[in-house]
Amino acid sequence: MNTIKITPAILPQTYRGIEIPVERVLGVTSAIQIDFVDGHFAPNRTWLFNNKDEERIQQIYDQELGMPYWEDVNYEFDLMVKDPVGQMEQFIALGPSKVILHVESLEQESVVAFFEGLPEIIRSAVAFGVALNLDTDPALLAPYIPFVESVQCMGIRTVGYQGQAFDPAVIEQIKKVRALYPETSIAVDGGVSLDTATALVHAGATELVVGSALFQNTDIHGTMEAFRQVCSSAISPQGN
């Protein structure tokens, strides 16, 4: 492990709610994660599910408009939704480079069939990951591991909202995932900050998904660099 990936994350209510934060991180990251919440998997509702920007959304589907700065950043979608496979077509139409599914929302047989039947054009363009909550047994991920490039451990108790307190239980969850799936990349989303980053990396995380700790800071470029320095120290011989 040479570097830790730092991925900014946003929980948008509108198209502009994507555009503004992406503008702030241009030049310091090649990827940004958008959290989609449907009001069923979690109580919150975000863009695509809150009846806002419907005309603009249709323009994207009609290929008259793209996601903000789509030529400059890769979008990774975290789908906190029920039946994500049943809605996959609309998400793929938005042009993600990666899609993350939450294991608690999945029906094993249909999801495995989905992965096995993916057209090559999608398989070559879109990577997949699987996420799990703090109390979910990592063994449940086993059927999906052959099809995904990463596991995302949630670092908060209530998903679908930003700015929540970090739950240290995620440290043991990361260790369990690392033990079961040693070749899989592990991301952590929720409660990630400069104060928690070192412990997460030491536990086995290879990617930190950062929301509030980044976007609530006026110096985003400086904060991204601070995260990189903390992570670099954590993986150095002196940092372990």
pLDDT digits (tens, 9 = 90+) for 108-146: 999 999 999 999 999 999 999 999 999 999 999 999 999
Report which residue type is found at 151: V
* Domain that residue 100 falls in: 5-239
At 61, the pLDDT band (50, 70, 90 cuts) reads: very high
State the pTM of this model.
0.95
* Long-range contacts at 72-75 (CB < 8 A, ≥ 24 apart): 72/26, 73/22, 73/25, 73/26, 73/29, 73/30, 73/31, 73/32, 74/30, 74/31, 74/32, 74/98, 75/31, 75/32, 75/33, 75/34
pLDDT digits (tens, 9 = 90+) for 190-213: 999 999 999 999 999 999 999 999
Given the structure tokens 């995620």, which residue do they identify?
A: 170
Report which residue type is found at 202: H
In the prediction, which pLDDT does 200 show? 98
Distances from the Cα of 20 to the Cα of 45, 68, 75, 76, angstroms: 19, 9, 14, 17
Given the structure tokens 């993350």, which residue do they identify?
A: 100
CATH code (residue 68): 3.20.20.70
Interior CA angle at 167 toward 237 and 159, to 5°?
Answer: 120
In the prediction, which pLDDT does 238 show? 55
Q: Are 209 and 187 in contact (CB under 8 A)?
A: yes
Q: How many domains does the chain have?
A: 1
Averaged pLDDT for residues 161-175: 91
